[in-house]
A = this chain, B = another copy of it.
Amino acid sequence: MTNDVRSPKRWLIGEPLSSEKLEHQLLPKHLALPIFASDPLSSVAYAPQEMLMILLIGGLGFLTLAPWVATAVVVLLIVVVLSYRQLVKAYPSGGGDYEVARTNLGEKAGLVVASALLVDYVMTVAVSIASGVDNIISAVPELNEFRVEMAIFFVILLAGVNLRGVRESGKAFAVPTYLFIASVFVMVVVGLLRTAAGHAPVAESASYTVQGDNVAHAAFVLLILRAFASGCSALTGVEAIANGVPAFRFPKVKNAQKTLALMGGTAIVLFAGLTTVSLIAKVHYAESSCDLVGLKNCATAVQPSLISQVATAVFGADSIPFFLIQAVTAAVLLLAANTAFNGFPLLGSILARDTYAPKALNSRGDRLIYSNGVIALAVIASVILLIFRANVTQLIQLYIIGVFVSFTLGQSGMVRHWIRLLRDPETTGRGQIKRSLVINLFGAILTFTVLIVVTITKFTHGAWIVFVVMPILWLLMLGVNRYYRDVEVEVEVDATTTFGASGDHAIVLVGKMQKPVLKAIDYAIAARHDTLEAIHVSVEPEATEKLQAQWDAMNIDVPLIIIPSPYRDVAVPVIKYIKAHREEFGAEVVTVYTPIYIVGHWWEAILHNHRSRRIRQKLMLAHGVTVALVPWLLDSSELLYGRRSRTWAFPGQARSGEPRRPEMPVKRGAQDREVGAAARSTARNSASAPSKKGQDEGSLR
């Protein structure tokens, strides 16, 4: 063992990306807006609808209160946007509410936000897709009986797209999002113009009245609050930008803030405009079809969504603009659902980084991990859609709770943050900080109120599920963290740690006389251990005799020990042999060489390596054993080389701001095609195969 200090610079490991290339991969504002704003903007598709629907429970008269409730929602939206502008400036690393809560309110509060976000992502998928399906059915009412099937189809579609690894392209998002903004805006403007011209649009449900419940005084207030709570679903998705700051181009914080403001402004305009036109057109959207007095066959009738009723009223039934708006709305909602597929793995890797989730989730570009996350999200969302029959109203009850939990804790964390800064006498710009403090304080109080309101009003309508699931997630994450902490303590180094060994013995496990075993023997010999022997556990006498004969014929310089196995077991006799050997020769390190097959197809994994893995697992329980895996590359492993030279766009990459490895060409060793199969397989596995100097760095041979 030599003591050379070799400089790694002598072997340069890939050029780091130039700053230009890095900048190119980040998002400009006009592409960031669609990616991050699709979620909150798409809420416009269902928020006014839910708000007016709740008001209608009290009867037609309650609709006069709609402007006030809508104004309250708009005010809250402004406050929340302003609050997030502060948050983004103070925490530009992209941790969002989770980081703010964890840093300022403690670990357990951070975990509450994390569990709320996990629930959030699932609900984003469910609600967005249910609403999208709602709009499709509003255009084509015959599809109503396939509501749940369509919803699950879209979930599977999105999962498939994400498993394939399509890059979350800003351009792909841009078209539907800007189209949506434009068309709804145009619809609102046209509706207002027509009203001004004395030709106000009239909704198809305008002629239906609603049998209002007799609402007593206390229930009156409760109803208003419920409507307000439902209207607050317009705020869902606002926090996404806070998680995506690293993805913006420089100056990141300012760009993020501008985009936030733009997004907030657009959402307000669309929400307010849509609500206004709905009230003008007298859209009556009831909780269930049969609440509408005058609607024939109410049990089977389909209530078109609010946005579709407005489109019909403004542009005419089954007109081109009508179908356009339905299509674009559905598209934006699908994109909003897709943000969950991108945000979920990102959240998972952040939690893993903080050891609240299995460390495996923190692997960048590990296709398997992301695939598992995508599949998990798709399955859970599908189950939710099944249980609630893709009913937007019911799903929203669960949705808002999670959102407002993170809002509240995020704002409260910011308040703590500013207070901490103010306490520090060296802080400058105290005026600005005090202003920020007021904004966040106001935001925290307001969102907390909404949270209380939402909880009380929606608890019995399904929200209790969230209050069962979130604590379970919280406990799991805490449990994982405590487990990892205990393990860290267990493996912590102390001054006296030494593992000492007084010998170096090597064993090669020999089954049949085949190339992989020969390779293992050669490698064991090359490693020059103190002692080396080959061990064959005799399970079938015939095979053992054949092996002995071949061994002698090949004149292998390694002694072959044959151990009988009365119970056809391989591991236990070997372990006993090792124990006995150590008893005789002292505490030595025993290296057990065993071949392992490397294969290219997934189904080949079922056909190889299982028994050697079981043997290996048992061997490793004995003292002093280390298992050396000698890889044998089968022909099909060629596929792996090609696969690994291509890069893969993993979900969430676009919004994490991390650099993407440049595409590398697929290359195979040219020599392989010129020799026969047997020689080829030997050459593939030979240590002495010459490495090509100056070969393309992308190739790994």
Give Cα A497–Cα B566 distance, bound, in whole angstroms: 33
Q: In the assembly, how many copies of this chain are there?
A: 2
Which residue of the partner chain B has the closest CB to A597? B487
* Contact status A614-B366, CB under 8 Å: yes
Stretch at the interface among A63-71, A407-415, A443-451, A488-496: A488-496
Which residue of the partner chain B has the closest CB to A582? B691
Interface size on A, residues (CB 8 A): 137
* Contact status A580-B363, CB under 8 Å: no
A589 at the interface (CB under 8 A from B): yes
* Contact status A519-B499, CB under 8 Å: yes
A190 at the interface (CB under 8 A from B): no
* Contact status A360-B559, CB under 8 Å: no
* Contact status A13-B576, CB under 8 Å: yes
A165 at the interface (CB under 8 A from B): no
> Contacting A2 at CB < 8 Å: which of B531, B561, B564?
B531
Known A13-B564, A480-B607, A623-B691; contact A515-B531, beta-carbon cutoff 8 A? no
> Contacting A492 at CB < 8 Å: which of B480, B514, B525, B530?
B514
What residues on B are CB-neighbors of A17 within 8 Å? Answer: 566
* Contact status B360-A583, CB under 8 Å: no
Which residue of the partner chain B has the closest CB to A593? B626
Stretch at the interface among A167-175, A326-334, A629-637: A629-637
Give Cα A360–Cα B612 distance, bound, in whole angstroms: 9
The majority secondary structure among interface residues of chain A is mixed
A359 at the interface (CB under 8 A from B): yes
* Contact status B531-A682, CB under 8 Å: no
* Contact status B621-A591, CB under 8 Å: no
Give Cα A363–Cα B565 distance, bound, in whole angstroms: 14
CB distance from A674 to the nearest CB of B (A): 17
A 78-117 to B, binary, CB cutoff 8 A, 1 in contact else 0: 0000000000000000000000000000000000000000
A265 at the interface (CB under 8 A from B): no
> Contacting A493 at CB < 8 Å: which of B368, B518, B577?
B518
Which residue of the partner chain B has the closest CB to A486? B635
Give Cα A693–Cα B622 distance, bound, in whole angstroms: 15
A276 at the interface (CB under 8 A from B): no
| Residue of A503, A587, A633, A641 most packed against chain B (CB within 10 A) | A587
* Contact status B686-A568, CB under 8 Å: no
A 473-515 to B, binary, CB cutoff 8 A, 1 in contact else 0: 0000000100110011011111001111111100000000111
> Contacting A576 at CB < 8 Å: which of B14, B591, B617?
B14
* Contact status B497-A518, CB under 8 Å: yes
A290 at the interface (CB under 8 A from B): no
A563 at the interface (CB under 8 A from B): yes
A 552-591 to B, binary, CB cutoff 8 A, 1 in contact else 0: 0010011101111111110011011101111100011101
Give Cα A6–Cα B5 distance, bound, in whole angstroms: 42
Which chain A residues (13-29) contact chain B, with CB distance < 8 Å? 13-14, 16-17
Which chain A residues (504-555) contact chain B, with CB distance < 8 Å? 504, 513-516, 518-519, 522-523, 525-533, 550, 554
What residues on B are CB-neighbors of A587 within 8 Å? Answer: 686-691
What residues on B are CB-neighbors of A644 within 8 Å? Answer: 618, 621
What residues on B are CB-neighbors of A562 within 8 Å? Answer: 8
* Contact status B611-A529, CB under 8 Å: no
> Contacting A557 at CB < 8 Å: which of B3, B488, B607, B618?
B3
A701 at the interface (CB under 8 A from B): yes
What residues on B are CB-neighbors of A677 within 8 Å? Answer: 490
* Contact status B611-A567, CB under 8 Å: no
| Residue of A581, A614, A659 most packed against chain B (CB within 10 A) | A614
Give Cα A497–Cα B550 distance, bound, in whole angstroms: 14
> Contacting A632 at CB < 8 Å: which of B491, B504, B581, B685?
B491
Which residue of the partner chain B has the closest CB to A596? B620
> Contacting A528 at CB < 8 Å: which of B366, B504, B515, B691?
B504
What residues on B are CB-neighbors of A528 within 8 Å? Answer: 1, 504, 528-530
* Contact status B658-A626, CB under 8 Å: no
A 596-617 to B, binary, CB cutoff 8 A, 1 in contact else 0: 1010000010111011001011
* Contact status A621-B606, CB under 8 Å: no
A364 at the interface (CB under 8 A from B): yes
A141 at the interface (CB under 8 A from B): no
> Contacting A610 at CB < 8 Å: which of B360, B569, B610?
B360
A59 at the interface (CB under 8 A from B): no
* Contact status A501-B487, CB under 8 Å: no
CB distance from A668 to the nearest CB of B (A): 13
CB distance from A594 to the nearest CB of B (A): 10
> Contacting A566 at CB < 8 Å: which of B16, B365, B557?
B16
CB distance from A610 to the nearest CB of B (A): 3
CB distance from A149 to the nearest CB of B (A): 21
> Contacting A687 at CB < 8 Å: which of B497, B579, B623, B631?
B623
What residues on B are CB-neighbors of A503 within 8 Å? Answer: 526
Which chain A residues (634-679) contact chain B, with CB distance < 8 Å? 634-635, 637, 640-641, 644, 658-659, 661, 677-678
Q: Which A residues are within 8 Å of any B CB, using their own CB?
A: 1-6, 8, 10-11, 13-14, 16-17, 358-360, 362-366, 368-369, 480, 483-484, 487-488, 490-494, 497-504, 513-516, 518-519, 522-523, 525-533, 550, 554, 557-559, 561-569, 572-573, 575-577, 579-583, 587-589, 591, 593, 596, 598, 604, 606-608, 610-611, 614, 616-618, 620-635, 637, 640-641, 644, 658-659, 661, 677-678, 681-682, 685-691, 693, 697, 700-701
Q: Would you give 22 A-B contacts (Cβ < 8 Å), ordered by A?
A: A6-B561, A13-B573, A358-B610, A363-B610, A364-B567, A480-B607, A488-B514, A490-B515, A491-B515, A491-B516, A493-B513, A501-B522, A528-B529, A567-B659, A587-B689, A587-B690, A588-B687, A623-B687, A623-B701, A626-B630, A627-B628, A628-B629
Given contacts A14-B573, A359-B610, A568-B658, 14 further A-B contacts (CB under 8 A): A5-B559, A6-B533, A11-B577, A14-B566, A359-B607, A493-B513, A497-B682, A499-B522, A500-B522, A501-B688, A587-B686, A587-B688, A626-B628, A627-B628
6 tightest A-B CB contacts, nearest first: A360-B610, A11-B580, A624-B687, A620-B631, A587-B688, A499-B522
